[in-house]
Amino acid sequence: AAGTPMLRVQELSTHYGAICAVNQVSLHVNQGEIVSLIGSNGAGKTSLLMTICGAPRASGGQVFFEGEDITQAPTHLIMRRGIAVSPEGRRVFPALTVIENLKMGGFFLTGDEIDAGMEHVFELFPRLRDRAHQRAGTMSGGEQQMLAIGRALMGRPRLLLLDEPTLGLAPLIIAQIFEIIETIRGEGVTVFLVEQNANRALQIADRGYVLENGRVVLEDTGAALLANADVRKAYLGG
Ligand code: ATP
């Protein structure tokens, strides 16, 4: 419905035993937005992103996708509803080829949908078409990242969750990845981006959130966060 955010996270908490990794976080992502979540190592970014996907389970609070409570839904049903995640560390299957990895991302699709999804991914990432039969483990970090994003796109998600897609990549590749994220958004996919590369992440974001010790401490437009003195000092090198 109009006015309902695509994703709404309401006082969400995640615990690992006694450790509280996500502490009553509330945020939302509107349809068509790029929203970035920044924060330092161990702030709880990955835990928050993965809790949205149902693994780990929330210890408190709720997650709504298109108005429906998905907090307790199994991960595979969350994915089928239109959310996809490209996890931290890329996690492609190293022994499988590019094509085989992409098929894994479309395991719930029909044959025709897999063919169409793969063609779409190859248009976005021509490099992957050139390497269609190469084993993922032998590709460069940037190529593996493209594959991880491509795999997430196979099911034609409406919401794409990206966990540190530029970590450990060379500057030129980082620029390419951010361009691709904007292209993906241009195709109508809403993007929630977790990044340590705060500068670039806020540059492409409509809005952003700053996470510290499991809590949201700041939220604003990307431009306002980029200009914020505290953010500059803590995350942008002064
Ligand atoms: P990074 O950028 O380094 O990945 P992050 O912001 O994504 O950091 P998380 O990985 O979510 O942060 O970690 C948040 C806190 O939860 C950290 O203190 C971490 O040690 C802890 N943590 C994460 N995963 C587990 C786990 N499986 N078991 C126990 N503690 C965990």
CA of 70 relative to ligand 1 center, distance in Å: 22
Ligand 1 centroid from CA 16, angstroms:
9
Give every CB contact of residue 170 below 8 A, 6+ residues apart in sequence. Answer: 142
pLDDT value, residue 105: 86
Residue-wise pLDDT for 119-136, tens only, equals: 999 999 999 999 999 999
pLDDT digits (tens, 9 = 90+) for 52-99: 999 999 999 999 999 999 999 999 899 989 999 998 887 899 999 999
Residue 145's φ and ψ, nearest 5 degrees, are: -65, -40
CA of 86 to the centre of ligand 1 (A): 17
* Closest-lying ligand 1 atom to the alpha carbon of residue 41: 3
> Nearest C-alpha to atom 20 of ligand 1 is from which residue?
42
Instruction: Return the residue whose CA atom lies nearest to atom 29 of ligand 1.
Output: 16
Determine the atom of ligand 1 nearest the C-alpha atom of 16. 29
The reply to whether ligand 1 has any atom less than 6 angstroms from the CB of 16 is yes
Residue nearest to atom 3 of ligand 1 (CA): 41
Residue 194 CA, closest ligand 1 atom number: 7
**Would the CB of 40 count as within 6 Å of ligand 1?**
no
Q: Which of 19, 37, 51, 86 to mutate to test the pocket of ligand 1 (most atoms within 8 A of CB)?
A: 19
| Residue nearest ligand 1's atom 28 by CA | 16
Ligand 1 center to residue 123 CA distance, Å?
35
Determine the pLDDT at residue 3.
Answer: 79
Give average pLDDT by consecutive 10-residue segment, the chain, 238 residues.
Answer: 87 97 98 96 95 95 97 92 90 93 87 93 95 95 94 95 94 94 96 94 97 97 96 87
Any atom of ligand 1 within 6 Å of the Cβ of 44: yes
Pocket of ligand 1 contains residue 19 by CB under 6 Å = yes
For ligand 1, is residue 89 a contact (CB within 6 Å)?
no
Q: What's the confidence (pLDDT) of residue 1?
A: 56
